[in-house]
Structure 1
Amino acid sequence: MSAMSRIKEFNLPDLGEGLTEGEILKWLVAVGDVIELNQPIVEVETAKAAVEIPAKWAGRVQTIFHEEGTTVEVGSPIISIDTQPDAGPLEPASTTGQPDAALPTPSAAALAAVEVAPAEGAVEPGLIGGPAPGGRTAVLVGYGPRTTAAKRRPRKGAGPVAPAQSAPAQPTPPSAADHGVVMGDKPVHSSPNQAPQVHDRRNGAGAPGGGLVLAKPPVRKLARDLGVDLSMLTGSGPLGSITREDVQRAAAGATAEAAPAPVRTTVAPVFDASREQRIPVKGVRKLTAENMSASAFTAPHVTEFLTVDVTRAMKALDRLRVRPEWRDVRVSPLLLVAKAVLLAVRRHPMVNSTWAGDEIVVKDYVNLGIAAATERGLIVPNIKDAGRLTLRELADAMTALVQTAKAGRTSPADMSGGTLTITNVGVFGVDTGTPILPPGESAILAFGAVREMPWVHKGKVRPRQVTTLGLSFDHRIIDGELGSKFLRDIGAFLTDPEAALLAWT
C-alpha cells in the first residue's frame, strides 16, 4: 500500500459560530503514539472557548505540523496519522521533483551572474526570487540596488565649513525717543555717537552717578504722589528708564533689583523595558474587547440603580439549604436573582429582545447568560430556555455552567444565542457597576455584594442585609419607564421572594 493511501492529514475542523482560527494550547498526543478513533488529540482555544478535538481516524501519529501556542486557520492540516501502522514500513511516495540531496549545484557562471546589492545607497523595486526591472537582482521588499550613488542632503553641522563672512554691522541702539521716554518736557533725540545732554527741568533730579533720570510723565506723577525720589532708583525699563513697577517697589520698601527667576528642573521619565510585561491580545480577551467596543458605541446605554433590603431573601435561602432534597445543591443569592429576572421578564417581555435595525425582535424564550471570570478572560455562557426550568433545575444548570467555565471547557454553542445577562460583581466585594450590554442583548443586570447595613425597617433603624442592583439597557428598545418597572419587580422579588412566588406564579 502506498504511503499516500495510508497517511491521512487531519485538518483543523470548523468549530462553528463563524470561527475562522484557533490557537493550539496543548497537544494530547506525540509522534509515534497509537491513537483510537475519537480519542482527544489536541486542545484548541478559539475566540470563545477552549475545546478538545477528537481524532478522525485510528492509527499512529506520523507528524505534528504546529507547535503549542501557534494560531492555525480552520481547514489547515494540524496532524497526520498512519491509519495502518501494522502494514509494514511506509513506501516512499512518488514525486515529480528531486530530493534535496539530488538538487543540481549552481555553476560558477550562474553565481557570477548574480548581481549583489551594494552595502550602502538607495534601492529600487524588486520581487522575491525573480529579476527586478532593469536586470537588477530581486530583493525582499521595497527597493532593489541602484548603480548610482545616492545623493544625500548634508546634515546640519556636517561637511566642510563655509568661508567666514564678515560680521554684519551691529544695529544702532534705539534712541530714547524710539521708546517713548521723556526727559524733561520733550522727547530726547540723540545720535548713536552722542549721549543725551538734556536736563530734567521738572525737578532737576539727576540719576545716581550724575546722569539724568529717564521716566515717562505718568511715572513721574506716580513718584511724586508716593513720595519716591526718582534719582535714587535704578530703572529696569528701556535704556535704563524707570517704570511704574520700579516706583511701586520702592514705595513698598522692596528692592528695585528684580529677583532672579527660579531655576526649573525637569525630571526625565524612566523607561525600563525589562520591568514591563507585554500580553498578546488574542482568544477570549480579543473577542471580548471587540464585542464590548462594538456594543458600547452602537447601543445607547442607560443604567439605573436600586438598593434593596434582602434580609428575607437570605433567610429563605437558609431554609432552603436545610431541606433534604436541597442539601447536595449549591444555593447562593445569585440563584434568587436569576429567578427574579426570569419572572420579571414574563411581566415585561420587551426587555428580552434584540434591535434588528428596522424591527425589534421580541423573544419568547430566555437564554440567561451568567458572566464568569476565567483565567482566559471574561466569558458569558448561557442557560438555554432558562424560563422553563424549575428552581432546582435552574440551580443545577447554574452550577454546571460555572464549573465548566472555570475548567475552561465551555463550548462555543454554550456562549452563543444569549438574550439576557446577569453579572455577579458582588463576589468581588463590589457594591454594583454599570455593565456593558453583550452584543444582541437589550439588558444586563449587575448584582452587587450583600452587606449588613443600618436600614429603616418598620419605622426603626435596624441592621439589615442590603444589596444594590445596577441595570443597563438599550435605550432604543427600553425607555425609562419600562427599565424602571423591570428593575422594580426584580427588587420586589428579592425583598420577599416567597410572597412574590405565590403572587406571580
Structure 2
Amino acid sequence: MAESQVREFRLPDLGEGLTEAEMVTWAVQVGDHVELNQTIAEVETAKALVELPSPYVGEVVELLVAPGATVPVGAPIIRIAQQEGAGDEHPDRQPVLVGYGPGEPPPSRRRRPAMRPETPHQTDGHTPVHGVRRRTAEAMSTSWREIPHVTEFVTIDATATVELVDHLRATPAFANVKLTPLAVVAKAVVLALAAHPLLNSRWTEQEIVARDHVNLGIAVAAPRGLLVPTVKNAHTMTLHQLCAEIGQMVERARGGHASPADMSGGTFTITNVGVFGIDSGTPIINPGEAGILCLGAIAQRPWVVDGQLAVRWVTTLGVSFDHRMIDGAEGSAFLADIAAMVHDPATMLARS
C-alpha cells in the first residue's frame, strides 16, 4: 500500500492588497476524496465571494478553519493526504480563484445565518455581520467620522435627457446595450469632473492629490450587500462605451461575478436611488474619494415652462462632498454644471 504524505493548503494571496478573508463554508468534509481543482471552500473578502480550488489530489485529513472565522493570507486552512506516486497532484500549482454569486452554488453549500439561543418568548433574529456587509459598515463609519460632509440638492427638468434616451434606444448604434438616463448622468459627471478636478481628488492630511483619471463607481444593491464596481478610465469613453461598461459591471456585481479589481480604485461614485422610487438622499462619501452624486427618481410632474404650466420629466440631483478640500462655491458649481447638462444634454457635444 502506497504511503501518504499530508500537505497543508494555505489561504492564497487574493490580490488587490487584501490581507484576509472570511471562511463562508466548506464544500468538503474530513474523509472526502478531492480531485485537482475541485472546489473545497468559499471565502468572502471585502471585494468578492471566492471559490478555493484544491491544488492537490487526495483525502481530506483536517479542516483547520471554522466557517465564520477570519483567516489571514498564508494561514493553513486544510490538510490533505496524498498518496506518494499519485500522478495528478501538482504541489506547486497556484489555484485559480473564481468569484461568483450566492445564487449559483448548490443550496447545500451555503451557510445559513446562525441563530443565537432564545428564550421561549423571544422572537428576535440574529444575523452575523461579516464579509461585504461588515467591510461596508466599517468604511461608512470611517467616512462619516473623518470626512466633514456637505450635501446639496437641485431639482431640474430632465425632459430632454429622457427624450434623448428614447431616441437613441431606437437607433442601431444602441441596439446592443441597455441605455438608461443613468448613463447620460454618468457622462455629465465625467465631463463636470474635468472642469472641477477637486471633486476627483483625494485628501491625505499632508496634501490634496489631484487624479488624472476618472474611475467611476456605480453603487449596486446586490444580494450580498452594497457593492460599488468601478468603470475604469471613464473619462476616455463615449456615451455608448460608458453605457455598455456600466451595464456589464452592474450585471457582474449583482450576479456575484465582480472580481476584487472590479471593486477597487474608484475616484468618484454615483448612487441611483431613483430605481427605488426615491426622490433623493444624502449619500455617504466612499473613503479615498471627494464626493458622491445621488440620482433620484425621474418622474412626470407639473413644471413651469415659459410661464406656462406643463407636465415634464423632473428629477432631483444631490451631491455630498468633502468640505476639507471643497468649499460651498466649488461644490455648488459642480452640481449646477451636471444639472445644466442633464437639463440640456446637447451641450455635452461641445465638451466631449
TM-score (normalizing by structure 2): 0.83
Deviations 1:304-331 (A, max 9, x none): 1011111111111111111123222111
Does structure 1 residue 78 correspond to structure 2 residue 77? yes
Assess if the C-alpha contact under 8 Å between 1:12 and 1:78 holds in 2: yes
Deviations 1:202-237 (A, max 9, x none): xxxxxxxxxxxxxxxxxxxxxxxxxxxxxxxxxxxx
Whose Rg is larger?
Answer: 1
Deviations 1:345-367 (A, max 9, x none): 11111210011112100001011
Shift of 1:16: 3.4
Matches within 5 A, 1:227-242: none
The structure carrying a bigger strand percent of its residues is: 2
1:35 — aligned with what?
35
Q: Structure 2: which amino acid aligns with 1:60? A: G
SS at match of 2:122: helix
Assess if the C-alpha contact under 8 Å between 1:447 and 1:469 holds in 2: yes
Q: Which has the higher contact order (CA 8 A, sep 6+)?
A: 2
Matches within 5 A, 1:190-269: none
Shift of 1:56: 2.9
Shift of 1:83: 4.9
Q: Structure 1: which amino acid aligns with 2:347? A: A
Shift of 1:74: 2.6
Distance 1:353 1:465, change over 3 A: same
2: distance between equivalents of 1:292 and 1:18?
Answer: 20
Match of 1:469 among 317, 330, 334: 317
1: distance between equivalents of 2:151 and 2:16?
Answer: 30
Shift of 1:85: 7.3
Q: Structure 1: which amino acid aligns with 2:7? A: K
2:209 — aligned with what?
361
2: distance between equivalents of 1:287 and 1:331?
Answer: 31
1:13 — aligned with what?
12
1: distance between equivalents of 2:188 and 2:32?
Answer: 55
Assess if the C-alpha contact under 8 Å between 1:40 and 1:54 holds in 2: yes
Distance 1:399 1:84, change over 3 A: farther
Shift of 1:87: 4.4
Gaps of 5+ in 1: 89-270
Does structure 1 residue 300 correspond to structure 2 residue 148? yes
Shift of 1:401: 1.1
Gaps of 5+ in 2: 88-118
Q: Structure 1: which amino acid aligns with 2:202? A: T
Match of 1:492 among 330, 335, 340: 340
Q: Structure 1: which amino acid aligns with 2:178? A: R
2:4 — aligned with what?
3
Shift of 1:26: 3.8
Shift of 1:436: 0.8
1:419 — aligned with what?
267
2:49 — aligned with what?
50
Q: Structure 2: which amino acid aligns with 1:460? A: Q
Shift of 1:427: 0.8
Shift of 1:300: 1.0
1: distance between equivalents of 2:129 and 2:349?
Answer: 49
1:232 — aligned with what?
none
Assess if the C-alpha contact under 8 Å between 1:47 and 1:282 holds in 2: no
Does structure 1 residue 501 correspond to structure 2 residue 330? no
TM-score (normalizing by structure 1): 0.59
SS at match of 1:417: coil
Shift of 1:82: 4.5
Distance 1:437 1:283, change over 3 A: same
Q: Structure 2: which amino acid aligns with 1:504? A: R
SS at match of 2:47: coil
